[in-house]
Amino acid sequence: MEVRIASTLQSELPVLWVVSPETDEATWAAQVGAVGLTPAQFPLAKRLRFFNNGSVAALQVPLPAHTLEHLRRGIFYALRKAEEVGWKEVQLTWACPETQTDEDFFQTLGEMSLMSLYRFTKYAVDPPASVERITVIAPERYQGAVERGFIIGRAVNMARDWVNEPPNVLTAEELARRIAAVGAEVGFSVEIWDKARIEKEGMGGILAVNRGSLNPPTFTIATYKPENARNSRPFVLVGKGLVFDTGGLSLKPTPDSMDAMKCDMAGAAAVIGALRAIAQLKLPYYVIALTPSTDNRPGENAYTPNDIIHMYDGTPVEIRNTDAEGRLILADALVYARRLDPAFVLDFATLTGAAAMAVGRYASVLCTNAGSAFRDALLDSGQHTYERLVDLPLWEEYGYLIQSDIAAIKNTGTGREAGAITAAKFLEYFVRYPWAHVDIAGTAYLTSPAPADRAFPRHYQIKYASGVGVRLTVDFLRRHGERLFS
Ligand code: BES
Ligand code: ZN
Ligand code: ZN
């Protein structure tokens, strides 16, 4: 699928008008006038309307409210309708009075042009026909915002592709190779630690989880350091890169539990997707993304409940459940991050079923030790991108639940209470800098499409990988970076 930008409508191609409720008669007259129509021929409507007079084909999608989120849903709906009726080439137009629009709306047009028709078709034998080219109509002063949206939309789709990729293809080594390929393409440097190096370093969390596997682990350090960086201390991203989580010896019961666990590297996909967009947008910040990666399997030499392992900083950890493996590989990465003297560390991980139980698919769980400036910026970006966050506490008492009688800490809480928080408390134990953790277990991979809302019977949060975390991170840096990192 191809996307491009034009300043004015052409009458030969079908027009998708996504219409703000702020649109008045004069604005609409100018819109339809551009393809030789009058409002009398194609009036402003309250509901979806098709138009075709032989020379102009069009679809009008009125939004129920003037928000970015309604625009996302409207664009998705318009493009999927266009696909349904078999239009191969369309023009996407935002009908809105000048005074009511801004760059954010045009950026959203760019993002959703790429995200709306996404499908994972790599292995499909008969993929459905779809729209082949979208021309986004934007006045010149907003074309930069549309381009920015294209970059972000492509990064989201890349993250989705990686998460959707089956685990026999996307091994830890393959993940590292792909990260290196992205770095070469968009301009960040990548250092890959192989198993020998991870052993030499003593990353005991990654090695323990990897013991039951025949495939070696990797640890990848991706660095984007532009000459004009505003920050001297890096903004560090960490993503859980668990390429498949069987649970290990504490084997997950299928179905409903193991059967979607190729998604357990969605944190890694999110941070590399974000870094890709950050580099392509040439944002003036020094950013490093760390991705510890392995699968978690019950092979003959698998790590075992009751084991005591030693993490990268030497901390002895009692293993209670081999399915609580994400925190072990992340902890090694968080220890590594100490030497980077980071201004802030943000991790994304499909860490706990408990996070999904607590807030479902409508939010990711945030836990942070950083001050309100970082917290509020993240919550704000969550609202702005609609990759919403719910803030849960890291109170001292939750730490008691992971105290061990025989080691420093244990890798699960006592009982099932506060599972998302005890996992975050485990991570916090290894952290020595301002840090935030985002648990995306409920949002990274949907096994059914999101239910529709009243206005649009189909929602853009489609089945399978969502690419969550990419838009959030880019927005956080773009809109709050200057204040937080200068
Ligand atoms: N990868 C899972 C968490 C998960 C669950 C991700 C559902 C996506 C969807 C994680 O490694 C895990 O198994 N966590 C356990 C922790 C428990 C053993 C303390 C869980 O949530 O049950
Ligand atoms: Zn697990
Ligand atoms: Zn896991």
pLDDT tens for the chain, 486 residues long, are 999 999 999 989 999 999 999 999 999 999 999 999 999 999 999 999 999 999 999 999 999 999 999 999 999 999 999 999 999 999 999 999 999 999 999 999 999 999 999 999 999 999 999 999 999 999 999 999 999 999 999 999 999 999 999 999 999 999 999 999 999 999 999 999 999 999 999 999 999 999 999 999 999 999 999 999 999 999 999 999 999 999 999 999 877 899 999 999 999 999 999 999 999 999 999 999 999 999 999 999 999 999 999 999 999 999 999 999 999 999 999 999 999 999 999 999 999 999 999 999 999 999 999 999 999 999 999 999 999 999 999 999 999 999 999 999 999 998 889 999 999 999 999 999 999 999 999 999 998 887 777 778 788 988 999 999 999 999 999 999 999 998
Could you tell me the two tokens for 448?
A: 């059914």
Q: Do residue 416 and residue 355 come from a single domain? A: yes
From the list 265, 263, 271, 258, the residue with the least C-alpha distance to 221 is 271
Does 319 reside within a domain? yes
Among 323, 398, 421, 464, the mutation site with the greatest number of ligand 1 atoms within 8 A of its Cβ is 323
CA dist 220 and 295 (Å) reads 15
The set of catalytic residues is: 252, 327
Among 327, 351, 437, the mutation site with the greatest number of ligand 1 atoms within 8 A of its Cβ is 351
Domain range for 276 is: 170-485
Q: Do residue 139 and residue 200 come from a single domain? A: no
The contacts of residue 256 (CB under 8 Å, 6+ apart) are: none
Q: Could you tell me where the DSSP H helices lie in 324-371?
A: 326-338, 353-359
Q: What is the total count of domains within the chain?
A: 2
461 lines ligand 1 (CB under 6 A): no
Which ligand 1 atom sits closest to the C-alpha of 422?
19
Which ligand 1 atom sits closest to the C-alpha of 413?
19
295 lines ligand 1 (CB under 6 A): no
pTM of the model: 0.98
Q: Do residue 71 and residue 13 come from a single domain? A: yes
The answer to whether residues 465 and 120 touch, using CB atoms and an 8 Å cutoff, is: yes
The contacts of residue 405 (CB under 8 Å, 6+ apart) are: none
Q: Do residue 127 and residue 232 come from a single domain? A: no
Q: Do residue 139 and residue 263 come from a single domain? A: no
The contacts of residue 299 (CB under 8 Å, 6+ apart) are: 211, 212, 213, 214
Q: Do residue 177 and residue 321 come from a single domain? A: yes
- Whole-Å CA distances, 374 to 4, 303, 350, 355, 361: 36, 37, 21, 21, 23
- Whole-Å CA distances, 220 to 176, 179, 312, 326, 375: 6, 8, 15, 16, 27
Which ligand 1 atom sits closest to the C-alpha of 411?
19
For ligand 1, atom 3, which residue shows the shortest CA distance?
352
321 lines ligand 1 (CB under 6 A): yes
Pairing of β 89-95 and β 15-19: parallel
Q: Do residue 351 and residue 285 come from a single domain? A: yes
Does 430 reside within a domain? yes
CA dist 319 and 321 (Å) reads 6
472 lines ligand 1 (CB under 6 A): no
Pairing of β 189-193 and β 435-439: unpaired
